[in-house]
Structure 1
Amino acid sequence: MTDAWPVVPPAAGTPACGPPTSAPDGGWQVTRYADVRAVLTDPAFVVPAVDAGPPGTLAWLRATVSRFSAPHLHAERRAIGVSALAALDPDELRREAARLTAATLDRAGDRVDVMTELARPVPLRVLAGRLGLADPVAAGTAVAVVAAAYHPGVDPTLLRRADAAVAALLALSPPAPPQVRANLIGLLVQACDATAGLVGAAAHHLLTPAALRATAGIDGGDLLAEVLRLDPPVRATRRVTTAAVRVGGQDLPAGSPALLRFDAANRDPLAFAEPTVFRPGRPGAGPLTFGAGERGCPGDRHALSLAGGMFDVLRERCQRTRAALRHEPHPTLRVPTSLEVSVR
């Protein structure tokens, strides 16, 4: 352990904390911890509506999963995912993720790309298998295709590929009503980039020689919690007002889009002492990366278990190389494209 924890600068594009600010398009950006939490728990803010589509397509999936559901449909659909996750043992997920990570490193040479070989395939393979999909490896590949097109406004080519991937996932899913199968697939899609981004960020910040020495003996869960705060894989989420509402001293008219910046709120000096300093095990408020309120992530424990199992093995056997780090071009996600480590 060290008494001089490093300062972690914010990622490019992270705004400073302050009152909600308006944008030229009529939307609002919310950056302070208390304001973001207030919006997440206020029924006057809802998720933006998505268009429906023919059964078995990406548009159908988005319109059927709890994440994008209107308030009157959300509870029933969320319960499907909550019930499925309740049947999974987080400790068992952690062990299996660690086992697959170790097996991959055993087969690797002296270098391995954490993102392509581990962070993307391993969590999906474990989770898909435990959720009953017939071929977890094929399911993981299809989920990645769906995740790339999951948010509205992507390239039409990605949409066509995603439609085919949704059809493949439905064929691999256990027999159940369409709404149930859609929400099981939704769990996998939500886990895809978020878990990969967490593992990648942890490897980036904590597998350097200096970081490995400084964090020896410190609980991996505390380390991951601080990575989630300072370099969250999900940087923001969107809401829209259903009525005029006041947030952080600003009046937002009905129909106002709001972009909630987790990356800024997690560095709010009113919520975190020395907010730019990496300090695992810090007391007080937790990061908002998993959301809050009725739409908070239902699989936060499972995601942390999967990432924790992988990270335990990585910190024992791997060290970061000096290869350049780049991230996927995405407005609200922060996921490395590749991250090379040497294998000990």
Structure 2
Amino acid sequence: MTDTWPDIAPAAGTPACGPPSFAPERGWWVTRHADVRTALTDPAFRVPVVDSGPPGTLAWLRASVSRFSSPPRHAERRSMVVTALAALDPDELRQEAARLTVAVLDRAGDRVDVMRELARSVPLRVLAGRLGIADPVAAGTAVAVVAAAYHPGVDVAVLRRADRAVATLLAVVPPAAPEVRANLIGLLVQACDATAGLIGAAAHHLLPLPGGDPSGAGRTAELLTEVLRLDPPVRATRRVTVSAVRLGGRDLPAGSQVLLRFDAANRDPTVFAEPAALRPGRPGAALLTFGAGERGCPGDRHALALATGVLDVLRERCRRIEAPLCHEPHPTLSVAKTLEVSVR
């Protein structure tokens, strides 16, 4: 096995690092590592408010989860997620994800679409089962529908399907207070596209083509951390300034729409030596893909464990089939539509 990896070029649309920049049609873009970290931790930058709706609808769900909560409600709702995750052993998640991946490959024939058969289903099935969801398979299907409508801007038909999917999920989530149930569903939704995007990106970058050299050396978990840096499934996150603030030498007025670009900040050459190189074992403290501060992702270890379980098996048994990689249309996420591999 080789112990070196090729550089990973930035995805199309990834901006270069520089001072915060403004354009009327898009608002402010923040790309430098130090500036993104500051905006993630400075109370002058808030998560945009979302409107609520009738109980049991998508609008109600979004307004009830910690991710979109205002500061007075965020800590209480986040603790619901932290409590649920504390009962889950990441190593057990990894082992179960690996077991289900083996089962899929054993019945797949000589080819399998990683995105359809593994990345979008295995992590959700494992996580839903461990959270006590009554029907993990049905829950996974419903979560994918909700995830497709989770961010504002989708059409009415998609919203209606998502409302029905929220009702399906409420029927299988263990009994609890409404906000607790909403945050369990939110945890599954958060894991859906982000974990699928990580598995797809990792399979694309780490699996060799048929006839090529075996997958390079390195522990899968360390390789995934580098994929998260170089080709993050969550490319950006939004904030709004609640007061005038100076960031990176620029003055941002109150009410400014701000997009924090993880994809650019994770390649900041002032923080990462050889920023395009995939170097397993880099210190992980600088990685921004999971956020930072009080709103940093509480399930980072669990997401990595689930992805590691899938990728451990893929690296052992699969080769990537050369084909153009197309991604789902989304303003802040990067999730491959399909990714075929050959199975041995």
Q: Does the pair score TM above 0.5?
A: yes
**Could you list the runs of 5+ residues in structure 2 that have no partner in the other structure?**
none
What is the aligned partner in structure 2 of residue 107 from structure 1? 107
1:35–1:212 CA distance, 2 compared to 1 (3 A):
farther
Q: Secondary structure at the match of 1:291?
A: coil
1:286–1:173 CA distance, 2 compared to 1 (3 A):
same
What is the aligned partner in structure 2 of residue 43 from structure 1? 43
- Could you state the TM-score of these two structures normalised by the residue count of structure 2? 0.97
Alpha-carbon separation, structure 1, partners of 2:112 and 2:134: 28
Q: CA deviation at 1:222?
A: 1.0
Alpha-carbon separation, structure 2, partners of 1:27 and 1:325: 29
What aligned pairs does 1:161-200 form with structure 2 within 5 A after superposition? 161-200=161-200
1:92–1:26 CA distance, 2 compared to 1 (3 A):
closer
1:304–1:212 CA distance, 2 compared to 1 (3 A):
farther
What is the aligned partner in structure 2 of residue 80 from structure 1? 80
What is the aligned partner in structure 1 of residue 16 from structure 2? 16
Q: CA deviation at 1:214?
A: 5.4
- Could you state the TM-score of these two structures normalised by the residue count of structure 1? 0.97
What is the aligned partner in structure 1 of residue 137 from structure 2? 137
Alpha-carbon separation, structure 2, partners of 1:320 and 1:152: 34
1:255 maps to a residue whose letter is G
2:87 maps to a residue whose letter is A
What is the aligned partner in structure 2 of residue 213 from structure 1? 214
Q: CA deviation at 1:221?
A: 1.0
Q: CA deviation at 1:124?
A: 0.4
Alpha-carbon separation, structure 2, partners of 1:323 and 1:45: 41
1:63 maps to a residue whose letter is A
What is the aligned partner in structure 2 of residue 255 from structure 1? 255
CA RMSD of aligned residues (A): 1.4
Which stretch of the first structure deviates more once superposed, 283-292 or 219-228? 283-292
1:213 maps to a residue whose letter is P
Is the counterpart of residue 305 in structure 1 residue 305 in structure 2?
yes
1:128 maps to a residue whose letter is A
How many residues of Structure 1 are paired with residues of Structure 2 in the alignment?
A: 343
What is the aligned partner in structure 2 of residue 267 from structure 1? 267
What is the aligned partner in structure 2 of residue 71 from structure 1? 71
Q: Secondary structure at the match of 1:336?
A: coil
1:246–1:146 CA distance, 2 compared to 1 (3 A):
same
1:2–1:195 CA distance, 2 compared to 1 (3 A):
same
What is the aligned partner in structure 2 of residue 286 from structure 1? 286
> Is residue 63–residue 69 contact of structure 2 (8 Å, CA) maintained in 1?
yes
Q: Secondary structure at the match of 2:259?
A: strand
Alpha-carbon separation, structure 2, partners of 1:38 and 1:128: 34
1:212–1:139 CA distance, 2 compared to 1 (3 A):
farther
Q: Secondary structure at the match of 2:337?
A: strand
Alpha-carbon separation, structure 2, partners of 1:213 and 1:306: 23
Q: Secondary structure at the match of 1:338?
A: coil
What is the aligned partner in structure 1 of residue 342 from structure 2? 342
Q: Secondary structure at the match of 1:271?
A: coil
2:150 maps to a residue whose letter is Y
Q: Secondary structure at the match of 1:22?
A: strand
> Is residue 272–residue 284 contact of structure 1 (8 Å, CA) maintained in 2?
no
Q: CA deviation at 1:69?
A: 0.3
Deviations 1:110-134 (A, max 9, x none): 0000000000000000001111110
> Is residue 212–residue 315 contact of structure 1 (8 Å, CA) maintained in 2?
no
1:40–1:296 CA distance, 2 compared to 1 (3 A):
same
Q: Secondary structure at the match of 1:8?
A: coil
Q: CA deviation at 1:278?
A: 1.5
- Percent identity of equivalent pairs: 77
Alpha-carbon separation, structure 2, partners of 1:221 and 1:241: 35
> Is residue 149–residue 162 contact of structure 1 (8 Å, CA) maintained in 2?
yes
1:34 maps to a residue whose letter is A
Alpha-carbon separation, structure 2, partners of 1:131 and 1:293: 26
Q: CA deviation at 1:238?
A: 0.2
1:33–1:343 CA distance, 2 compared to 1 (3 A):
same
Deviations 1:232-280 (A, max 9, x none): 0000000001111111111111111110000000000011001111211
Deviations 1:75-104 (A, max 9, x none): 000000000000001000000000000000
Which stretch of the first structure deviates more once superposed, 172-181 or 285-294? 285-294
- Structure 1 ranges of 4+ moved more than 4 A: 1-4, 209-212
1:107 maps to a residue whose letter is R
1:184 maps to a residue whose letter is L
> Is residue 4–residue 216 contact of structure 2 (8 Å, CA) maintained in 1?
no
Deviations 1:195-245 (A, max 9, x none): 0000000000011148863523x1111110110011000000000011111
1:212–1:55 CA distance, 2 compared to 1 (3 A):
farther
1:171 maps to a residue whose letter is A
Q: Secondary structure at the match of 2:237?
A: strand
> Is residue 241–residue 254 contact of structure 1 (8 Å, CA) maintained in 2?
yes
